Chains A and B, each alone.
Chain A
């Protein structure tokens, strides 16, 4: 921990905190990225130095990593202080800032962008690495998904020798990547999007699926037996010894129960009793605005972030059956410029309710909904969307920058 830092690293840490504080004070954001950038310029090994001596877990995957990191932090806080990048700044600058801001934390739970996993394995020497899922996401600027799984597999083989992997047994891409590791704890975390794993990532043959089980017809890659799973009945996680840990989550949907299962599996590797950790997860009400509830003019909005086809399908699974739905779509750089993926999402489950579309690319959504036979109205922005629905509950689903625009309208609600 920071007691062992060199003078140079201490100086870099001080500068980092100053830059982050200045950025916050001038309203430029939370300062994680700029702070980390400043610190790493002064001491390029700063992340490694700050991570040294701490018990670190890295959490990565296409969807659910911010929420799972939040859950994991809550669980480990049962036994000690945890440094975490809770603002979703999930690249090395953000990790450096998270560690610098919590010099006394013995533990660190770091959400990691999929493309930086190798770099973080080397820099942070994690005790545990949690791998959630891989599916198509922003293909016009990111790697295609099988190539990303292959990169993970290689990087885990070379750099994760000291780590225990907590991995999703239901995602063939994750299983293939993680199966090169010595110590893997498998979690049945589900897979809401199977289209990217119709064929075996190992050999290209067909995967047979029978319910939750899957196996390759050629090379034999198959679903490992999970030690942790989401209970079939009620809201609970089932641990390795068959014991049930009841959940009482504020966050909706099966996908968040799966995120909770992963968090409990990780926490137990840090020596946390899952029975002690599980109730702490129910204290999480929202995560950087995700699932936040805000109210205006009698409309009670719940904000759901969904960045890719898997995320949109998960959102439709979470929303209450009757309230109006606001959909907002942007295609700015961080969203990906290509909107084709909205045709990978089935919108027919929205038919029959009031649907309002907005965002920079609302016309793309209008064409998409028309094709699926869903009635809709198109409005300019979230204010107009609120005016277009009656008082009462409203579900809002938005992709990344569209979500941030809506958050800004509500004072960047967390």
Chain B
């Protein structure tokens, strides 16, 4: 593969919490392995390219979330990318709209049905540090991020949680995020990939078609120090 084409969907609608960071981290880690990256920012009034190697979608407010879901349903390209096994990383509002339904503006909306889950409103807003142990099959260890959402997400049988929650709320206080095939959804921003380099590498490996262990190592001194700090801050607070 000469150039990795990463699509960042709808930054005009869904980019509330530094979501661009995930794209920057992926590009940085790919280039560190000698892989060129072509970042493609696709606005909500543009067609979603079919030809990309990975798709990212971020978080946002209720109104833009509903508009984004409607446009993606009409466009159809993200569903086809998921069927073709392209890696997709979806954050917060973007995560919710990959499910069968989600709740915004005081009512339920139809989602893209890429992940077998549905979201509704929780009793309180989940705001703060989130941590968990990722499902062992993913091989990425513990996860850390910051969450800020009013939704609760209920997983169906065709998905697995991304992680078991050890701090924070995530989907419902027990599990966080969801995973099926090469599609990952999560409530973690922070951004998630800056604080979880192994998750970034897993997505890169999926996009390239190799096992993560085949990726040359990257110097992760600073990300590892940041992870240690965040986990320590949580254990100090408990």
Contacts and interface: CB of A to CB of B under 8 A. Distances in A.
Interface of A: 136, 139-141, 144, 146-147, 195, 198-199, 204, 206, 337-344, 363-364, 366-368, 370-373
A356 to B, nearest CB: 15
A275 B61 CA distance: 45
Interface in B196-214: none
A302 to B, nearest CB: 27
Nearest first, the 3 A-B pairs at minimum CB distance are A343-B21, A343-B18, A340-B18
Contacts of B222: 363, 366-367, 370
A371 B15 contact: no
B194 A140 contact: no
Given A139-B16, A338-B146, A363-B226, A146 B61 contact: yes
Nearest to A194: B12
Contacts of A366: 222, 225-226
Given A367-B194, A371-B28, A338 B148 contact: yes
A372 B24 contact: yes
Given A363-B229, A364-B226, A368-B194, A341 B28 contact: no
B108 interface: no
B64 interface: yes
B63 interface: yes
Contacts of A364: 226
A174 B15 CA distance: 20
Contacts of B63: 146, 204
A398 to B, nearest CB: 19
A147 B64 CA distance: 12
A199 B12 contact: yes
Interface size, B (range): 35 or more
B21 A144 contact: no
A198 B18 CA distance: 16
Contacts of B146: 140, 337-340
Given A371-B24, A371-B25, 14 more contacts: A139-B148, A195-B11, A198-B11, A198-B12, A199-B13, A206-B12, A206-B44, A206-B45, A340-B189, A341-B18, A343-B18, A344-B20, A363-B222, A368-B21
Contacts of B128: 140, 337
B234 interface: no
B158 interface: no
B225 A363 contact: yes
Interface centre among A199, A338, A341, A343 (most CB of B within 10 A): A343
A148 to B, nearest CB: 11
Nearest to B67: A204
B138 interface: no
Interface of B: 11-13, 15-21, 24-25, 28, 43-45, 61, 63-64, 67, 127-129, 146, 148, 189-191, 194-195, 222-223, 225-226, 229
Contact of A341 (B17, B67, B194, B195): B17
B205 to A, nearest CB: 19
B61 A344 contact: no
Contact of B226 (A198, A204, A367): A367
B173 to A, nearest CB: 19
A121 B10 CA distance: 37
A366 B220 CA distance: 11
Contacts of A337: 127-129, 146
Nearest to B194: A367
Contacts of A371: 21, 24-25, 28, 194
A370 B25 CA distance: 9
A405 to B, nearest CB: 18
Contact of B127 (A140, A146, A204, A339): A140
A139 B223 CA distance: 24
Given A337-B128, A339-B190, A367 B18 contact: no
B226 A147 contact: no
B64 A199 contact: yes
Contacts of B189: 338, 340
B127 A342 contact: no
A343 B63 CA distance: 23
A136 B226 CA distance: 24
A337 B21 CA distance: 17
Contact of A144 (B12, B15, B16): B16
Nearest to B12: A198
A210 B38 CA distance: 26
Contacts of A363: 222, 225-226, 229
B191 A136 contact: no
A190 to B, nearest CB: 20
A141 B63 CA distance: 20
A117 B225 CA distance: 42
B226 A343 contact: no
A141 B128 CA distance: 10
B17 to A, nearest CB: 4
A392 B49 CA distance: 51
A313 to B, nearest CB: 13
Contact of B191 (A139, A140, A343, A372): A343
21 contacts: A136-B16, A139-B17, A139-B148, A140-B127, A140-B148, A144-B16, A146-B63, A198-B12, A199-B44, A204-B64, A206-B43, A339-B190, A340-B17, A343-B194, A344-B15, A344-B18, A363-B226, A366-B225, A370-B222, A371-B21, A371-B25
A367 B223 contact: yes
A363 B127 CA distance: 21
B175 to A, nearest CB: 22
Nearest to A198: B12
A204 B13 CA distance: 9
Nearest to B17: A340
A337 B128 CA distance: 7
A248 B230 CA distance: 46
Interface centre among B25, B127, B194 (most CB of A within 10 A): B194
Contacts of A342: 18
A309 to B, nearest CB: 8
B235 to A, nearest CB: 16
